[in-house]
């Protein structure tokens, strides 16, 4: 299956990269790179090839100085995706959430490959899903394969609790992690997941649509189904209940924003489908 082309995402790190694999991101390690970091005494780093004559002439004590250059390094780029049942929802005027996740994975995988970075996908519902558990790799064309698989997948899990286990698979090396979900979670799950990801540079990607706040325009008896658990109930929609529904939605939006802010996370809100420019602007702000 051949998916449609999606625009790439321009990303950058907020802190120097670590590791040993050459790439495009600045670091503060290594001595064989081309990016100047600092000077060092020749006696401490006896390599005459890196001797800086001008800096040595300006040295007050007349000591010989050599240049220390940093290497550009690669980083792991990982999408941690909520694949619980609520992610199967489709707004009335836009693509289904799983299509948005697929486009995002395809775009980030292509961008990572061009930057020399590795790319991984960790998808979970009640538990990590083996079909969507791929540790960072540098395989070309990986994004298209994963995106096609995501577009065919029908989420069925009753919770996103498996994200805690999936986050533990990231390891200790600092990575750029995109946490993708609608974030309709129990109150205790969000801080637990954010705590597991505190070591990494985290970008929450919130997939919520304004239609979720609308309780229907007509008054009367209407069925309501919980997107996660599948539980169905009948409700008599009236103006007062519709107002409470909207107020609860607004409160949930505010609570999510506050919780992310407490963990020093700036989210990207995608309401109407995948937007590569919105993700790129996130790194330029």
Q: Which domains does the chain have, with CATH numbers?
A: 30-70 (no CATH), 76-284 (3.40.50.410)
| Residue 43: both structure tokens together | 């006696």
Q: Which residues of the chain, if any, have pLDDT below 70? A: 1-3, 20-21, 28-34, 215-233
Which residue blocks in 76-201 are alpha helix, DSSP H? 97-115, 142-152, 163-168, 189-196
Q: What is the per-residue pLDDT for 1? A: 45
- Distances in whole angstroms, Cα of residue 212 to Cα of each of 99, 160, 178: 18, 19, 23
Q: Does residue 215 contact residue 224 with C-beta atoms inside 8 Å?
A: no
Q: What is the per-residue pLDDT for 157? A: 82
Threshold 0.85, pTM exceeds: no
Q: Does residue 27 contact residue 17 with C-beta atoms inside 8 Å?
A: yes
Q: Residues 65-97: pLDDT tens digits?
A: 977 777 778 899 999 999 999 999 888 888 999
Q: Residues 173-184: pLDDT tens digits?
A: 899 999 999 999
DSSP designation for 72? P
| Residue 228: both structure tokens together | 């996660």
DSSP percent split of the chain into helix, strand, coil, nearest 5? 35, 25, 40
Helix (H) or strand (E) holding 25: strand 22-25
Burial class (CB in 10 A: 0-12, 13-18, 19+), 67: middle
Q: What is the per-residue pLDDT for 264? A: 93
Helix (H) or strand (E) holding 243: helix 239-262
DSSP designation for 175? -
Q: What is the per-residue pLDDT for 230? A: 59
Q: What is the per-residue pLDDT for 213? A: 74
- For the chain, helix (H) and strand (E) counts, in that order, are 7, 12
Q: Does residue 113 contact residue 145 with C-beta atoms inside 8 Å?
A: no
- Distances in whole angstroms, Cα of residue 73 to Cα of each of 19, 60, 83, 107, 202: 7, 34, 31, 21, 19
| Residue 55: both structure tokens together | 């800096």
């Amino acid at each position: 299956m051949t998916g449609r082309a999606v625009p790439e995402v321009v990303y950058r790190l907020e802190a120097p990269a670590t590791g040993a694999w050459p790439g495009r991101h600045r670091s503060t390690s290594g001595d064989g790179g081309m990016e100047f970091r600092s000077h060092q005494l020749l006696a401490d780093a006896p390599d005459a090839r890196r001797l800086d004559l001008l800096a040595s002439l300006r040295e007050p004590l007349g000591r010989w100085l050599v240049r220390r250059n940093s290497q550009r390094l690669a980083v792991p780029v990982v999408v941690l995706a909520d694949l619980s049942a609520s992610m199967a929802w489709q707004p009335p005027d836009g693509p289904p959430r799983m299509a948005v996740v697929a486009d995002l994975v395809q775009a980030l995988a292509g961008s990572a490959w061009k930057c020399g970075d590795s790319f991984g996908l960790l998808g979970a519902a009640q538990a990590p899903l083996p079909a969507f558990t791929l540790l960072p790799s540098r395989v070309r064309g990986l994004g298209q394969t994963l995106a096609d698989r995501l577009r065919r997948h029908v989420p069925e899990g009753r919770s996103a609790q498996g994200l805690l286990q999936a986050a533990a698979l990231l390891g200790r090396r600092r990575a750029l992690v995109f946490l993708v979900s609608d974030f309709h979670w129990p109150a205790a799950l969000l801080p637990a997941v954010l705590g597991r990801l505190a070591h990494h540079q985290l970008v929450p990607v919130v997939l919520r649509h304004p239609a979720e706040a609308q309780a229907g325009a007509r008054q009367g008896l209407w069925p309501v189904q919980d997107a996660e658990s599948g539980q169905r109930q009948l409700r008599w929609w009236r103006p007062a209940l519709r107002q409470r529904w909207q107020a609860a939605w607004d409160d949930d939006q505010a609570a999510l924003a506050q919780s992310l802010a407490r963990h020093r996370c700036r989210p990207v809100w995608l309401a109407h489908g995948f937007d590569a420019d919105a993700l790129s602007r996130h790194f330029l702000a």
